């Protein structure tokens, strides 16, 4: 039975989630279409850019991702505490990077017109602030903006209307560090398991490839240690909506490689006042020009909570080793030595290699150690959660 999203995404249980969204009928709408002979590989770049842009606006950090030809994997951390600490002005400015919003918000953000607002108008703005604050820390809203903007751009490119993505994205609650390690490796190794890449650094449109590229570009000041771990400041966001000039709008061309300026456009939600078409285009162009946010850094959560609780070197060694290990039921190729990070977390290396490719089929709405799944089932008042047997096999060194 389908459960409401509010029951599946509970920040009191965990801020970490694995998200999967698929193209309708699992068609290769972001890859090579054998029926028409057309390549839509450039759309993978759209998705990669847009999710990094949205991470800079929402209180949602991206830890790992893999944009495939007919589906997308994300590992995210929802930071509601960060959103709670934003000022009213910061919330409204961030929201206006996504949607124009009602006129009263624009008046509130201008000191000259704010002084002329009535108490009733100010109370209305206060209500909007709390609504927007909640949405900016809402995984469903993050995926809504991501999916709708890509769908509209793709439909416009094809000259069609209708669904591009399946109706609901799938989410898995990640309940502990061990599960987080397994899920991130699963996501980053998707292209290798699919047989379309040989090494992590060759896995186009993945988080691990982006991290390795940044590491190699260290002489330009974009190394992982400088650009992500040290310089990463989760509370730094857009102070004002990007300024837009009438000539800034550019249509998405029919080409395989699409630069950042040709990124897809956002959708206006039904409950937001929609401006006229020209104004909408200007705001879409503003969203396209948002800078991509850095990926969530690796580090010590005791020093900075918004971090991945491993060292990047250890994780890179794990992914590189798994990427070369031999798996009889997968097309990707793979050596036998696995890093010590698995032992430290209590994972049997052989079982990890054997079962790491079945995280979606083997688990349901949550993934973690057996005791974590049992406790979550009790909190949800259900008899069991799918994946308990797999958890005993995967997350045990015995």
pLDDT of residue 331: 42
Closest CA to 15 of 227, 307, 363: 307
pLDDT of residue 160: 77
pLDDT of residue 356: 66
Tokens 């999710």, residue located: 51
pLDDT of residue 302: 84
CATH class of 11-81+138-235+293-394: alpha beta
Contact 339, 314 (CB under 8 A): yes
Contact 23, 34 (CB under 8 A): no
pLDDT of residue 151: 83
The distance in angstroms from the start CA to the end CA of the chain is 34
pLDDT of residue 161: 79
pLDDT of residue 259: 40
**124-136 pLDDT tens trace:** 999 999 999 999 9
pLDDT of residue 279: 53
Residues with pLDDT less than 70, the chain: 1-7, 25-29, 32-37, 219-284, 286, 325-340, 343, 346, 348-350, 353, 355-358, 360, 396-398
Rounded to whole angstroms, what are the CA distances from 366 to 8, 114, 152, 345?
8, 46, 31, 19
The token duo for 321 is: 């080793």
Q: In the chain, which segments carry CATH 3.30.70.1290?
A: 11-81+138-235+293-394
pLDDT of residue 156: 81
The token duo for 202 is: 């060759």
Please tell me the pTM assigned to this model: 0.80
């Amino acid at each position: 039975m389908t459960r409401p999203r509010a029951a599946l995404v509970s920040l009191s249980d965990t801020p970490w989630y694995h998200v999967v969204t698929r193209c309708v009928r699992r068609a290769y709408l972001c890859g090579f279409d054998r029926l028409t002979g057309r390549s839509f590989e450039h759309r993978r770049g759209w998705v990669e850019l847009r999710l990094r842009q949205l991470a800079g606006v929402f209180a949602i950090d991206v830890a790992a991702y893999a944009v495939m030809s007919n589906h997308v994997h994300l590992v995210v951390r929802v930071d509601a505490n960060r959103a709670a600490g934003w000022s009213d002005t910061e919330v409204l400015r961030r929201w206006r990077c996504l949607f124009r919003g009602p006129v009263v918000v624009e008046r509130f953000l201008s000191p000259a017109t704010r002084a002329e607002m009535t108490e009733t108008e100010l109370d209305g703005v206060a209500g909007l602030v709390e609504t927007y604050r909640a949405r900016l820390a809402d995984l469903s809203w993050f995926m809504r903006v991501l999916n709708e903007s890509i769908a509209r751009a793709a439909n416009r490119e094809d000259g069609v209307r209708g669904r591009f993505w399946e109706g609901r994205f799938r989410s898995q609650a990640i309940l502990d560090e061990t599960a987080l390690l397994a899920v991130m490796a699963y996501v980053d190794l998707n292209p290798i398991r699919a047989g379309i890449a040989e090494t992590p650094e060759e896995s186009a449109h993945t988080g691990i490839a982006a991290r390795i590229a940044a590491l190699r570009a260290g002489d330009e000041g974009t190394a992982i240690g400088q650009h992500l771990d040290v310089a990463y400041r989760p509370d730094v966001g857009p102070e004002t909506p990007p300024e837009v000039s009438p000539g800034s709008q550019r249509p998405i061309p029919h080409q395989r490689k699409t630069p950042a300026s040709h990124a897809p456009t956002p959708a206006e939600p039904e409950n937001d006042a929609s401006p006229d078409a020209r104004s909408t285009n200007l705001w879409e162009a503003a969203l396209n020009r948002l800078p991509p946010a850095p990926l969530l850094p690796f580090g010590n959560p005791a020093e900075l909570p918004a971090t991945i609780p491993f060292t990047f070197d250890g994780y890179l060694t794990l992914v590189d080793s798994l990427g070369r290990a031999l798996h009889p039921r997968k097309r990707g190729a793979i050596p036998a030595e696995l890093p010590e990070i698995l032992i430290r977390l209590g994972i049997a290396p052989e079982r990890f290699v054997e079962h790491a490719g079945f995280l979606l089929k083997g688990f349901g709405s949550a993934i973690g150690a057996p005791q974590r799944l049992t406790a979550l089932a009790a909190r949800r008042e259900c008899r069991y959660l799918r994946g308990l047997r797999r958890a005993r096999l995967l997350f045990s060194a015995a």
